Structure 1
Amino acid sequence: MNTRYTAFGAALLATTALTASAVSAETLRWARAAEALTLDPHSQNEGPTTTLMHQIYEPLIIRNMEGEMEPALATSWEPSADDGNVWVFTLREGVTFHGGEEFDSADVVFSLNRAMSETSNFKELLSSVSEVRAAGPYTVEIVTDGPNPLLPNNLTNIMMMDEGWAMANGAEAVQDYAAGEDTFSARNTNGTGPYVLTSREADVRTVLTANSDYWGVGEFPLAVTEIVFTPIQNPATRVAALLTGEVDFIQDVPVQDLARVEEADGMGLATAPQNRNIFFGLNVGAEDLGNDNVEGANPFADVRVREAMNIAINRDAIQQVVMRGQSDPTGAMLPPPVAGWTEELEEYPAYDIEAANALMEEAGYGDGFEVQLDCPNDRYINDEAICQAAVGMFAQIGITVNLSALPRAQHFPLIANGETDFYLLGWGVPTYDSEYVFNFLYHTRTEGRGSWNGTGFSDPEMDEMIVALSSETDLDVRDAAVAELWAMAEEARIYLPIHHQVLNWGISDDWSTVVDADDQVKFKYFEAD
Structure 2
Amino acid sequence: MKKQLALISIFLLALGLASAAGAYRGSLTVVLPDDAPTMDPNVSSSGIGLTIWRWSYDTLVSTDARTGKNVPWLAEKWQKLGPAQYKFWLRKGVKFSDGTPLTTAAIQYTLDRIRDPELKSVQRGFFTDLDRLEFLDDHTFIWHLKQPDNGLLHRLARYFHVISPKVKEGPKTAPARQTFGTGPYILKSWTKGLKMVFEASPSWWGNGLHPDRPKTVSMRPIRESTTRVKALLTGEVDVIRGLGAHQIPEIRRNPGTEVGEVPSVRFFYLSFTNGFGGPFADQKVRQAVLYAIDIESIRKTILGGLGEPIGQVYHPWSYTGFSPAKKPHPHDLAKAKALMKESSYPNGFKATLVGLHGTYPFDKAAAEAMAGMLKRIGIDAAVNAVPFPMYRKLVTAYHTGVQKDPALIFRSWGTHADSPIIWRATTSCKGIWSVTCFKDLDEMNEKAGAIIGPREQQAAFEKLTDTMQERAALGILFRLVDTWGYKKNLRFVPRGDENIFPWEIGVK
TM bin (shorter chain): 0.7 to 0.9
Against the structure 1 CA distance between its residues 117 and 322, is the aligned structure 2 distance closer, same or farther, given a 3 Å change threshold? farther
Unaligned stretches of 5+ residues in structure 2 = 1-23
Where does residue 469 of structure 1 map in the other structure? 448
Where does residue 132 of structure 1 map in the other structure? 133
Higher Rg: 2
Deviation for aligned residue 1:463: 3.2
| Percent identity between the two aligned chains | 25
Aligned to 1:122, the other structure's residue is in SS state: helix
- Contact 2:100/2:164, CA 8 A, preserved across alignment: no
- Contact 2:79/2:86, CA 8 A, preserved across alignment: yes
User: Does residue 1:211 correspond to 2:210, yes or no?
Assistant: no
Aligned to 1:453, the other structure's residue is in SS state: coil
User: Does residue 1:150 correspond to 2:135, yes or no?
Assistant: no
User: Does residue 1:430 correspond to 2:416, yes or no?
Assistant: yes
User: Does residue 1:517 correspond to 2:503, yes or no?
Assistant: no
Unaligned stretches of 5+ residues in structure 1 = 1-23, 172-182, 288-297
- Contact 1:221/1:526, CA 8 A, preserved across alignment: no
Equivalenced residue count is 475
CA distance in 1, matches of 2:344, 2:450: 44
In structure 1, what residue type is equivalent to 2:443? E
RMSD of equivalent CA atoms: 2.1
- Contact 2:280/2:286, CA 8 A, preserved across alignment: yes
Deviation for aligned residue 1:225: 0.8
In structure 2, what residue type is equivalent to 1:285? G
Where does residue 114 of structure 1 map in the other structure? 113
Superposed CA offset, 1:147-169 (max 9, x none): 33332122101243435333223
In structure 2, what residue type is equivalent to 1:46? S
Aligned to 2:148, the other structure's residue is in SS state: coil
User: Does residue 1:96 correspond to 2:88, yes or no?
Assistant: no
Deviation for aligned residue 1:375: 1.1
Q: Which aligned pairs between 1:29-44 and structure 2 lie closer than 5 A?
A: 29-44=29-44
Where does residue 48 of structure 1 map in the other structure? 48
Deviation for aligned residue 1:309: 0.7
CA distance in 2, matches of 1:263, 1:516: 23
Where does residue 313 of structure 1 map in the other structure? 293
Against the structure 1 CA distance between its residues 435 and 429, is the aligned structure 2 distance closer, same or farther, given a 3 Å change threshold? farther
Where does residue 175 of structure 1 map in the other structure? none
CA distance in 2, matches of 1:108, 1:56: 16
Where does residue 386 of structure 2 map in the other structure? 406
Superposed CA offset, 1:450-489 (max 9, x none): 332222x131x43333323343222232222222222222
- Contact 1:57/1:159, CA 8 A, preserved across alignment: no
- Contact 2:321/2:461, CA 8 A, preserved across alignment: yes
CA distance in 1, matches of 2:222, 2:110: 32
User: Does residue 1:285 correspond to 2:275, yes or no?
Assistant: yes
CA distance in 2, matches of 1:366, 1:443: 28
Where does residue 246 of structure 1 map in the other structure? 236
User: Does residue 1:375 correspond to 2:376, yes or no?
Assistant: no
- Contact 2:61/2:157, CA 8 A, preserved across alignment: yes
Where does residue 69 of structure 1 map in the other structure? 70
Against the structure 1 CA distance between its residues 429 and 246, is the aligned structure 2 distance closer, same or farther, given a 3 Å change threshold? closer
- Contact 2:353/2:381, CA 8 A, preserved across alignment: yes
CA distance in 2, matches of 1:406, 1:207: 28
Superposed CA offset, 1:204-260 (max 9, x none): 111111111111111124421111111111111110110110111112222211000
Highest RCO, 1 vs 2 (Cα 8 Å, sep ≥ 6): 1
Deviation for aligned residue 1:322: 0.8
Aligned to 1:240, the other structure's residue is in SS state: helix
- Contact 2:288/2:339, CA 8 A, preserved across alignment: yes
Where does residue 259 of structure 1 map in the other structure? 249
Specify which of 322, 332, 352 is matched with residue 341 of structure 1: 322
CA distance in 1, matches of 2:83, 2:479: 37
Aligned to 1:389, the other structure's residue is in SS state: helix
Deviates more, 1:28-37 or 1:461-470: 461-470
**TM-score using structure 1 length:** 0.84
CA distance in 2, matches of 1:332, 1:469: 15
Specify which of 301, 306, 315 is matched with residue 326 of structure 1: 306
- Contact 2:490/2:505, CA 8 A, preserved across alignment: yes
**TM-score using structure 2 length:** 0.88
Superposed CA offset, 1:54-90 (max 9, x none): 101110011133234222111111123xx65321111
CA distance in 1, matches of 2:160, 2:214: 22
Name the one with the larger helix percent.
2
Deviates more, 1:269-278 or 1:490-499: 490-499
